[in-house]
Structure 1
Amino acid sequence: MPFPYKTVLITGATSGIGQALAERMIASGVFVIAVGRRKERLDDLVKKHGSDKVAAEPFDISDLSALPNWVKHITTTYPKLDSIVLNAGLQKTLLFTKPETIDLAAHSTELTTNYLSPLHLITLFLPHLISLSPQPTSIIVVSSCLSLIPLPRCANYCATKAATHSLVWSLRAQLTGPEAEHTKHIKVIEILPPAVKTELHKIQKDLVEQGQGDFGMELDEFADFTWGELEKGDGPDGRDEITVKETREWVEMDHKRRGVFEGYVRGCREGGMKF
Structure 2
Amino acid sequence: MSFPYKNVLLIGATAGIGLALAERMIENGIFVIGVGRRKERLDAFVAKHGADKAAASQFDITEFDKIEAWVKEITTTYPLIDVVIMNSGIQRTLDFTKPTAIDLPRTMQELGTNYTSYLYLITYLLPHLQSLAPKPTALVGVTSGLALVPLPRCGNYCATKAAMHSLLWSIRAQLSYDPLSQHIKVIEILPPAVQTELHSQQKELVAIGEGNIGIPVEQFTDEAWAGLTRGDEEIPVGIVKDRFDVTEEPRRAQFGRIVLAFMGKRK
TM range (shorter): over 0.9
Q: Who is 2:198 aligned against?
A: 200
SS at match of 1:139: strand
Q: Which amino acid aligns with 1:124?
A: Y
Q: Secondary structure at the match of 1:141?
A: strand
Contact kept? 2:62, 2:117, Cα under 8 Å: yes
The TM-score with structure 2 as length reference comes to 0.97
Which of 241, 246, 249 in structure 2 is aligned with 1:248? 241
Percent of residue pairs bearing the same amino acid type: 55
Structure 2: how far apart are the matches of 1:92 and 1:256? Answer: 30
User: How does 1:214-233 map onto structure 2 within 5 Å?
Assistant: 214-232=212-230
Tell me how far apart the structure 2 counterparts of residues 74 and 244 of structure 1 sit (CA, whole Å). 30
Structure 1 residue 100, shift from structure 2 partner: 2.4
Matched to 1:215, the amino acid is I
Q: Which runs of 5+ in 2 are unaligned?
A: none
Amino acid at match of 1:228: A
Which residue does the alignment assign to 1:166?
A: 166
| Letter of the structure 2 residue corresponding to residue 128 of structure 1 | H
The answer to whether the 8 A contact 2:191-2:238 is kept is no
Change (3 A) 1:59 1:211: same
Larger mean Cα displacement after TM superposition, 3-12 or 250-259: 250-259
Asked if the contact 2:189–2:237 (Cα under 8 Å) also holds between the matched residues in 1, the reply is: no
Relative to structure 1, the CA distance from residue 245 to residue 222 in structure 2 (aligned partners, 3 Å threshold; closer, same or farther) is closer
Separation in 2 of the partners of 1:102 and 1:35? 30
1:115 maps to what in 2? 115
User: Shift of residue 269 of structure 1?
Assistant: 2.7
Separation (CA, whole Å) in 1 of partners of 2:192 and 2:15: 17
Runs of 4+ in 1 over 6 A off after TM superposition: none
Q: How far apart, CA to CA, are the structure 1 residues paired with 2:113 and 2:237? A: 24
Question: Normalising by the residue count of structure 1, what TM-score does the alignment of the two structures yield?
Answer: 0.94
Corresponding pairs, count: 265
Q: In structure 1, which of residues 203, 206, 209 is the aligned counterpart of residue 207 of structure 2?
A: 209
* Amino acid corresponding to residue 94 of structure 1 in structure 2: L
Judge conservation of contact 2:190–2:240 (CA < 8 Å) in 1.
no
**Which amino acid in 1 is paired with 2:181?**
T
Q: Is the 8 A contact 2:84 2:140 kept in 1?
A: yes
1:21-100 correspondence runs (5 A): 21-100=21-100
State the partner residue of 1:131: 131
Question: Unaligned 5+ residue runs, structure 1?
Answer: 233-237
Displacement of 1:73: 0.5
| Alignment-mate amino acid for residue 235 of structure 2 | I
| Residue number in structure 2 paired with 1:190 | 188
- Are residue 258 (structure 1) and residue 252 (structure 2) matched? yes
Deviations 1:74-93 (CA, angstroms, capped at 9, x unpaired): 00000001000000001000
The residue type paired with residue 251 of structure 2 is: R
- Whether the 8 Å contact between 1:149 and 1:250 is mirrored in structure 2 is no
**Aligned AA for 1:78?**
Y
Closer, same or farther in 2 for the Cα pair 1:9/1:114, shift >3 Å? Answer: same
> 2: distance between equivalents of 1:245 and 1:210?
23
**Cα–Cα, structure 1 residues 47 and 245, in superposed 2: closer, same or farther, change >3 Å?**
closer
Question: What whole-Å deviation, never above 9, does each CA across 1:237-265 have from its counterpart, x for those lacking one?
Answer: x3100012522342112122111101111
Matched residue of 1:88: which SS?
Answer: coil
RMSD of aligned Cα (Å): 1.3
**Further displaced range: 94-103 or 211-220:** 94-103
How far apart, in 1, do the equivalents of 2:134 and 2:233 lie? Answer: 19
Deviates more, 1:136-145 or 1:261-270: 261-270
The one-letter amino acid paired with 1:80 is: L
